[in-house]
Structure 1
C-alpha cells in the first residue's frame, strides 16, 4: 500500500513555481517515494527512518516519513539548478 503525500500550501506554491523540468523531476520522484520511502531517499542526518532527503539533479527535498499512518510530508523544497 503506497504512502500518502502531504504538502502544505506554501510548499505547494514552491513546487508549482519550479521550472517545468524540475517540477516534473520532483513529481516523478515523489511517486517513487510514496511507493518506497526508505528506498527512494537517503537519511537526513542520523538514520532514524523518519527524516529523509530526496536529492535529484535539479531539486532537493527534506521529507518526514510517518510509518504508522503511512504519510510522507514535504518539509522543504530547494531548487538547485
Structure 2
C-alpha cells in the first residue's frame, strides 16, 4: 500500500529553503516511507508506530503515519547543514 504524503504549508516552506542535496535526501526518505513507513523509519520517543523519524544525509524529518487514512504528514524538518 502506498501512503499519500501531506506537507503543512509551514513545513513545506522549510523544505523549499533546504539546499538541493538536502531536499533530494529528504525526498528519497519520504518516497521510501510512502511504501513501507514502519520499515524505513525510527521511533520518535516512545515507539507508538504513529510518530516516527526518517533521515538521510544531513536532514531528518518527523512524520505522522495515519494508518486509517493511509497518509504520512511531515510534522517537522531538521537540517544539520553547513
TM-score w.r.t. length of structure 2? 0.94
Aligned counterpart, 2:71? 71
Q: Give 1:26 deviation, angstroms.
A: 0.6
Counterparts of 1:55 and 1:80, CA distance in 2:
11
Q: Deviations over 1:8-59 (max 9, x none)?
A: 1111111011000000111111100001000110001111100101122210
Q: Which runs of 5+ in 2 are unaligned?
A: none
Alignment pair present for 1:56 and 2:56: yes
2:27 is aligned with 1:27: yes
Instruction: Answer yes or no: is the 8 Å Cα contact 2:26–2:55 preserved in 1.
Output: no
Aligned-partner Cα distance in 2 for 1:74–1:29: 11
TM-score where L is the length of structure 1: 0.95
RMSD: 0.8
Gapped runs of 5+ residues in structure 1?
none
Runs of 4+ in 1 over 3 A off after TM superposition: none
